[in-house]
Amino acid sequence: MIERLKHKYALSTQGAKDMIRACISVAVTDIILMMPAGILYSLIKDLLEGTLSADRIPFYAVGSVIVLILIAVSNFIQYNATFLTTYRESGVRRTAIAEKLRKLPLSYFGKKNIADLTTNIMGDCAQIETASSHWIPELIGAVISVSLVGVSLFFAFDWRMVLASFWVIPVAFIIIITCSGAEKNAVRKNSAVKLAMTDGIQECLESIRDLRANNAEGRYMDELETKIKDVEKMALFTELKMAVYVNSSSIILKIGIGTTAVVGGALFARGEISLLTFFMFLMLVSRLYDPMQITLQNFAAIISCGIQCERLDDVLSAKIQTGSEELNNKGYDIVFDHVGFSYSDETDVLKDVSFTAKQGEVTALIGPSGGGKTTISRLAARFWDINNGKITLGGEPVSGIDPETLLKNYSIVFQDVTLFNNSVMENIRIGREGATDEEVMEAARLANCDQFVQMLPDKYDTYIGENGSELSGGERQRISIARAFLKNAPVILLDEATASLDAENETAIQEALSRLIRDKTVMIIAHRMRTIANADHIVVLKDGIVAEQGSPEFLNSYDSLYSRMTRQQMVTQNWKM
């Protein structure tokens, strides 16, 4: 049961145990809340039979006090078991999702988008939190308590009155259960249109400059308005569909009052039950049906919540990358041995790729766009796992190394720089946690950042906006390079690291890089030939295969793809309007 609850409601082991306790506490509370009716029944019976004596009054007085104390205690226990434990579990769930996302391979994120993952962490968790604290315990607790009360009454009183009062409850539940498939389908469609709307809003905010530059705001806003209206229509449709089932089940419950009155009246007229029994069952159904109606509404909400649970369980059950947390490598040569890789089962991005990036040398990856250069650098750092072949770091297969352990040995400068809305100092310090301010500033000087940082209002303490919006593209890229200098790892991966720099800054960065890369394994991706003019080894990639490789001198010695690319770029550089 614990495992089933964990997967069904995206719970931890402790969360599943707490949910069971919450359901039991609600059931106990519901039963205790029925005790006053029992005391009232006994009191009326004594009054009608004339057996209410002076020595019975203390019994009722003490009994009422005890019941009040039990109600207070049970409500306190129920509150702790349902709300406090749920909120703790909600924190555990969000932390577990964050930890899971941290360990998932990038191939997983290729199938997801930011809006969807944000909905997972925020919206889905909040929905499950409400279900766990309000709906699920109340539903299961009500079912348990009503079942126990029904069985007890069946043996203690006339079974015909029990059937007349309770037959509507399973029928009402059956009506709700029959709609579960349609409800889940509607919720899936509702989630899809909401995600499309969220994507549209996020895309609009991110691309507002391009939209204005191309006078496309009107057309884009019309499309976004259509997505918003789709959400409204789907929400109304989903609510209407659920209302049909919930109201139908509520009507069935109301019919139970009528059948109790008719059957009870007939049995009382024939003298088969007492007036007191008839009165008790009428009082029972009035007490029983109102909470059951709320419970049935909760049951519909739980069915709807199942989609959010499935989405979260999909994240929590996803396969993570694992491996040894200890490295036994000998040196830092990176070897690709007949590597094949595809992002999906349909298209091969790399086919039988073999080359060696030696320690102490600069290995340049060049070639036409889409040839697999960036993919190779990501595979070297185990952002993805290869389909076949082998990649080794110092003779140790990277597929057997824990990703976090592996990445401690890599300094990576991505083509797309990511900065945070924090100070320049803290953005560079991400390269190495605990680095001193002096070490950060030294890395900034090596990356040629110091000149523009000194012109900022608060120097290194200046906040640079979301993703470095206050800086130019070249300045953002130099901060990213400063992180690599600060980390000072034995393996350096540069993906178009100087693409946003002007010629002067590029020359300065290359001079700094020459100091950084001494005795290190360097793999650089570039399109500009001057960037890799001094590389030790060049690997030319085309259509996912190694078309040619060797030193620049060797590749220039014949009519190679490398030499043709060099000549074409020289023609391009000399082109004039």
pLDDT in tens, 343-376: 766 677 888 888 899 988 888 888 887 778 888 8
Dihedral sign for Cα atoms in the order 149, 155, 156, 158: positive
Q: What is the CATH topology of the domain spanning 2-316?
A: ABC transporter transmembrane region fold (1.20.1560)
Query: Which pLDDT value is given to residue 505?
Result: 65
Is the pLDDT confidence value at 334 over 80? yes
d(CA 389, CA 565): 29
- pLDDT above 90 covers what percent of the chain? 3
Spatial contact of 105 and 383, defined as CB atoms under 8 Å apart: yes
CA nearest 22: which of 190, 135, 146, 164?
A: 135
Better-predicted residue by pLDDT, 316 or 166 = 166
The residues near 473 (Cβ < 8 Å, ≥ 6 apart) are 500
What own/partner pairs with CB < 8 Å and gap ≥ 24 does 38-47 have? 39/63, 39/64, 39/67, 40/283, 41/276, 41/280, 44/276, 44/279, 45/276
Query: Which pLDDT value is given to residue 72?
Result: 92
Is the pLDDT confidence value at 52 over 70? yes
Q: For residue 411, what are the CA distances in angstroms to 414, 432, 484?
A: 10, 10, 5
Spatial contact of 551 and 537, defined as CB atoms under 8 Å apart: yes
The residues near 172 (Cβ < 8 Å, ≥ 6 apart) are 249, 250, 252, 253, 292, 296
CA nearest 334: which of 353, 306, 348?
A: 353
Query: Which pLDDT value is given to residue 73?
Result: 92
Q: What is the CATH topology of the domain spanning 323-409+519-577?
A: Rossmann fold (3.40.50)
Of 46-50, 188-192, 321-325, 401-405, give the range with the top mean pLDDT.
Answer: 401-405
Better-predicted residue by pLDDT, 350 or 509 = 350
Angle at 251 between CA 247 and CA 253, to 5 degrees: 115
d(CA 359, CA 526): 19
Query: Which pLDDT value is given to residue 115?
Result: 65
Residue 56's φ and ψ, nearest 5 degrees, are -90, -25
d(CA 398, CA 377): 13
DSSP tag of 466: G
Is the pLDDT confidence value at 309 over 80? no
Domain boundaries in the chain? 2-316, 323-409+519-577
| Cβ neighbour number for residue 72 with a 10 Å cutoff | 11
The two three-digit tokens of residue 550, written as one number = 């060797």
For the chain, what is the mean pLDDT? 80
- Quick: pLDDT tens for 519-535: 788 888 877 766 677 78
Confidence of residue 111 (pLDDT cuts 50, 70, 90): low
| Cβ neighbour number for residue 519 with a 10 Å cutoff | 8
CA nearest 176: which of 307, 294, 297, 288?
A: 297
d(CA 535, CA 554): 12
Cite the DSSP H helix spans in 430-528: 437-446, 450-453, 473-487, 503-516
Amino acid identity of 98? A
Give this prediction's pTM.
Answer: 0.66
- Quick: pLDDT tens for 455-495: 888 888 888 887 777 787 778 888 888 888 888 888 988 88
CA nearest 535: which of 359, 362, 360?
A: 362
